[in-house]
Structure 1
Amino acid sequence: MNPFSYHKPASVNEAIHLASLSSRFIAGGTNLVDLMKENVIQPERLIDITGLPLKEIEATANGGLRIGALVSNAELAWHPLIEQGYPLLSQAILAGASPQLRNMASTAGNLLQRTRCHYFYDTGTPCNKRAPGSGCPARTGLNRMHAILGASAACVATHPSDMCVALAALEAVIHVQGPQGERQIAFADFHRLPGNAPERDNRLSDDELIVAIELPPPDFAAHCSYLKIRDRASYAFALVSVAAGLQIKAGLIQDARLALGGVAHKPWRQATAEQVLKGQAPCAALFTQAAQVLLQGASPLSHNGFKIPLAHRAIVRALSEAAFGKTFAGAAP
């Protein structure tokens, strides 16, 4: 680990003033400290934001919620307003990490965590995300955990967050603040696909700080499901995960949200798949059709072809559980 300076600002404006290309904001540090220990990143300055007033969960004027950037994952998952109005988010958070990590990890930090690709963490191997232009050995190497959607010749890594999959389905809005003031970023636009610049994970500038995440009014509390398929039941990243939310009235689906995790560089949504569900009566055939649309264009690597049928079955199962609280026969992976 390289030497670095440490600062603990007393205000958001002071934190932003200290920010630079060679600095990093730190809160829980559950990912950042690991990256520093492995010399994947070597910041010259750490800006400790844990003393900033960004820890509130508050109702908004339109009936939604504003979640401070420093609210811990554990506090968020168990908060009564989240459990009642946004159980999809609570389910996703509790499916991720361990209780100890959830106690430390912050809401904003969850959005900013880096991929767990083993080539990215191994500084003895090339990695375009860590060293642009050096290559992507995962394309022909060990790639069982890697992307089947949205990848590029430069990178096939996946985003590791469970919480972000639910936030994508809920269409959250991210509030960030920088030298030019505060701006809002739709969740769908926050994370980037790799393209030819995989080193850039998101749309934040180096001198911008996430201050809050805003949730719209709750519309999917009655019919939602977060399903995570992983190698073991405890503390493992998703092979495939699904966040499904439905609005059902008079036996028909009025609105639908569907997002996948573990398959791409960012939570994966396609409006066309959700459109398939709208106005229809929920059934296995309909959910199968939506899964086919959502997985269009999936391109497996040498070791992860199993993810396509796995994701298909997981989508049908999650939609079934959201609609009926049960799984259709044969739908479970």
Structure 2
Amino acid sequence: MTEQKARTGTWPRLRVADWTDTRDTLHMWTQIVGKVRLAHAPLLNHWWQVALYVSPRGFTTSAVPYGDGAFDIEFDFIDHVLRIRSSDGPSRQVALEPKSVADFYGETMGALDDLGITARFQPRPNEVEPSIPFAEDHHHASYDAEAAHLFWRQLLQADRVMGEFRSRFVGKVSPVHLFWGAMDLACTRFSGRPAPPHPGGAPNCGDWVMVEGYSRELSSCGFWPGGHEEGAFYAYAYPEPSGFADYPVLPDGAYYSRQNGQFLLPYEAVADAGDPDAALMEFLDSTYAAAATLGDWDREALEDDPHRWAGHRW
């Protein structure tokens, strides 16, 4: 990376400006893999079936049903390969290295063909502008292996804390998962009530997609590799209750962005904190409290102590 200012501590440091080209190329690659999963996984509410997950080596689709078996696809940011495995036994790999989206698309679809796996999907990205067809995208062609590895390690930390946050909610709550539309790690809690139809408006994405995604009242949080020098944690509510933007949230450094319609906390504010885990948890807890308190959620019914059975484990 140019003037790499990364450290490999518990909360790795990675300046967005140092890996923007790699980030944007990787974003397109994740869209291709995510759309393969979309082509075969049955619909789950809010499009949960399309997401990727943080794995011990990178990002994975998890098992995708195919015929009477299954396959999975994993971005391995240790060995820097895309690994495709079939329940029939064979596997294939595509090297993660500097190459165009067009080449990655061709190699990935060829590897799937070798395994006898077909996948029909719209072969162009969503939620971005411009939307260059994958087979024609020779513009995005960067891959900095160190940066990709550091980004994955950032997500490992975010996934871990967000998973703990998720465990405190016993109502309907999403997995902690990576949506390839914007390449953000997200976890969403739901009040149990319906929401007004979402107006849509995401670039190159049908409004009906957003209507499904936001069909229930929610409080969502996550991490996106943009928005600040080292990326940003975010939190928002839909529909946004009155007074949400003015609700006091923690820790220092968190603020409401009226431009983005959400609370933001710079990644660097978490990584620089004396206790990064606690700082991020303060943000997740306080922004959820803003949505649930002002939105009159039934918090007593929806929340519980994740350690409530700890005394019976042994």
Do both proteins adopt the same fold according to a TM-score greater than 0.5, normalized to the shorter chain?
Answer: no
Structure number with the higher helix fraction is 2
Bin of the TM-score, shorter chain as denominator length: under 0.3
Q: TM-score, normalized by length of structure 1?
A: 0.27
